[in-house]
Structure 1
Amino acid sequence: MSWQAYVDQSLVGTGNLDKAAIFNNEGNSVWAATQGFTVSPQEMQEVVTAYKDPGTDGVKQVQSTGLHIAGDRFVVLKADERSIYGKK
């Protein structure tokens, strides 16, 4: 299964979410995304920074400033080594 098929079928296809993107851990290459859902390089870097420093400075930064995805700001409710949970 390709990353695009995973986004379309296993993520968005469940109906539990309406947009998704998968990008590399350097935050400089989008591997798959919902059509029309554009995550900027700066936004990818915010996510990567939070994951590279889980539980400390990276997560504290996004918890205080929010996380920006596709031009929208999300309040970070919870973050761990696997997931970041936010609310628009």
Structure 2
Amino acid sequence: MDTATSHDMTELFCQLGLPDSPEDIKRFIAEHKPVPNELSLPDAPFWTPSQQAFLREQWRADDGDWTLLVDQLNAALREHPAPEDL
């Protein structure tokens, strides 16, 4: 039986204590990208200590409930071109 919990980006932002509407999420990403590739996502300067701890914990738990979403957020905040710019 699969007991994995499925979350979405709105729930991740809520878990991080951030505004979580789709517009808020887009704004957050736009305001904070690009995170330099040599900087680990939890080490970015815009996180609070509790947000950093949560992100680190989730990355260590390879199969954690939030791992996939943290990876997606990490990718969204990096120095990648927008798909429409490819």
TM-score, reference length from structure 2 = 0.32
Whichever structure has more strand as a proportion of its residues is 1
Greater helix proportion: 2
